[in-house]
């Protein structure tokens, strides 16, 4: 069967698909969503997908060119930190989204039947409804798997959810239990809960209970210590032995955003959830 492929439609379809892939990648890797960056990267990928479809540019479909173009398209999102993570997630999402749409197209009646053109390159002749349903189903599958993985990570008793009231405001925390975190107050020996200042960025801090001076591999640092008004451990595995002091650090604690605080294990007890209040 002879097929007429229009370059403008091919480009628009690729641009839409690439935009969705990059959007999913940004969410999964917690990369800041910049519309211009996504549009620029999608245009590069769509142009590559359109040009490489034609037989005179068949050399562009080789694996080295594919990897190079995908790396170039992701580079606007940053190459210093998290590049390889975004690169891997980009290809995983591409496979999932492409596989879902291909499967849907092959299981629908005409005209949603895939046709082969130009030396084995697959062109799926489908309308926008198939693509939209494929995007929706891919979204459900990808984020369902992500949610399951995060829950399993929590069930391994590594991440602990908290609700905390500090300076009259309520915050939801996810704390990483770090056995290497041995930070305690010098006099009382109380374990410290470290909190990223990104959580409380809109709240001007009052005078701290004390300033704790520490030495790290990168040098010395000062951490202001506060006592929250109340704190509730919302884990079924742990309980608080008492209300812990909270240290504010001026940097994010997790690159992927899975947690926003780090807790000294001595603060926790293996028990049922309990609410602690400042006396």
CA end-to-end span of the chain, whole Å?
A: 80
Say what the pLDDT of residue 117 is. 46
Whole-prediction pTM:
0.53
| pLDDT for residue 108 | 63
Give the pLDDT score at 97: 84
Q: And the tokens for 242?
A: 């008492």
Position 110 scores a pLDDT of: 45
Over the Cα atoms of the chain, what is R_g?
A: 25
> Which segments of the chain have a pLDDT < 70?
1-5, 108-127, 149-157, 216-219, 256, 270-279
């Amino acid at each position: 069967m002879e097929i007429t492929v229009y370059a403008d439609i091919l480009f628009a379809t690729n641009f839409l698909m690439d935009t969705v892939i990059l959007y999913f990648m940004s969410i999964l890797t917690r990369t800041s969503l910049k519309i211009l960056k996504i549009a620029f990267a999608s245009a590069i990928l769509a142009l590559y997908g359109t040009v490489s479809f034609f037989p005179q540019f068949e050399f562009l479909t080789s694996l080295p060119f594919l990897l190079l173009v995908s790396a170039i398209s992701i580079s606007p999102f940053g190459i210093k930190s998290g590049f390889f993570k975004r690169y891997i997630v980009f290809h995983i999402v591409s496979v999932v989204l492409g596989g879902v749409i291909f499967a849907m197209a092959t299981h629908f009646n005409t005209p949603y039947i895939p046709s082969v053109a130009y030396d084995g390159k697959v062109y799926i002749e489908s309308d926008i409804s198939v693509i939209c349903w494929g995007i929706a189903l891919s979204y459900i599958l990808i984020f369902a798997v992500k949610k399951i993985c995060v829950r399993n990570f929590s069930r391994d008793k590594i991440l602990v959810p908290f609700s905390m009231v500090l300076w009259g405001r309520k915050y939801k925390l996810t704390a990483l239990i770090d056995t290497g975190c041995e930070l305690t107050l010098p006099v009382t020996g109380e374990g410290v809960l470290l909190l990223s200042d990104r959580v409380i960025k809109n709240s001007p801090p009052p005078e701290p209970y004390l300033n704790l001076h520490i030495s790290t591999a990168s040098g010395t640092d000062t951490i202001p210590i506060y006592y929250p008004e109340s704190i509730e451990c919302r884990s079924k595995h742990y309980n608080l032995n008492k209300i812990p002091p909270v240290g504010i650090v001026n940097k994010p604690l997790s690159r992927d955003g899975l947690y926003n605080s780090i807790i000294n294990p001595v603060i926790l007890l293996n028990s049922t959830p309990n609410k602690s209040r400042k006396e």
